[in-house]
Amino acid sequence: MGIPTVLEVRVLDVRDASFEARENLLSGIAARLGEDRREFDELKLRVTAWESDAKFAIAMSDVYGRTTTVGAHLKTLSAAKADGWIAARACLAADYSAYAEAVTRLRVLVAAGPIASSALLDARATIDSVEAARYDTRAETGDSIKEKLWISEPAVEALVYRSRSLEGRARSDFAAAVSDMKAGEKRLKASIGAATRSPSLAWAVARARLAADYGIYAEAVGRAELAASGRRSISALRIPASASLADLSK
């Protein structure tokens, strides 16, 4: 599929982007990184003594580290050839998904503190583990993600129960996040199956897609947590489709 020339695209668009749409895709992500960087630089000034708050400092450091990783991908992909696009795109999707989840986790931490379901999903460590998984451990990799989904189910159900008192924008935000969460879970389960059945030559792409889909699901859970707490939910998956790669150096 191609990338629409509108104001926003999503991680799923990154995962499925065509080679012909790469310039719009890469410039859009570059703009998203720049806007987020300015937001978090300001956030550090507003959060009192953030360097002494271990959880906040770790979350902030993770966001900055993943910004650097995604930025490096953009520079590499801007010179990518058509025959290497699918593999390179899969790696970008996995790392951008991890970045988006890290951003949402930081916003959850600042807005409402850590909440059980996202903690149980442990997205940061899980995505890193999947991206490093060997082909001969593909069955164990799939089983570990299935287990995390199973363990987190009661906490996710508790979010739905808490949402009954929501009204207005918070209720709409929660409903949208739950819709994304259900779609993400279905897609993730399909990716688990595809990865565990993957032939060795296709493992790198299947593994990267599995990591990306796990991050997408975990990010939706994070947004549901924000909405269930009655606070504003801002999706880190949305990317303005205008800017140039030069913005990364600013």
Taking only the tens place, the pLDDT of each residue in 71-124 is: 888 888 888 888 888 888 888 888 888 888 788 777 766 654 444 455 546 677
Q: Which residue has the tokens 């880190």?
A: 236
**Residue 245: per-residue pLDDT:** 29
- Band the pLDDT of 63: cuts 50, 70, 90: confident
The answer to whether 34 touches 247, Cβ cutoff 8 Å, is yes
Structure-model confidence comparison of residues 58 and 185, the more confident one = 185
The kind and range of the H/E element at 32 are: helix 22-46
d(CA 215, CA 181): 11
Q: What is the pLDDT of residues 213-235, one digit of tens each?
A: 888 888 888 777 777 776 544 44
Provide the whole-model pTM.
0.57
Q: Mark 54-90 as b/e (b = at least 16 C-beta within 10 Å).
A: eebeebbebbeebbeebbebbeebeebeeeebeebbb
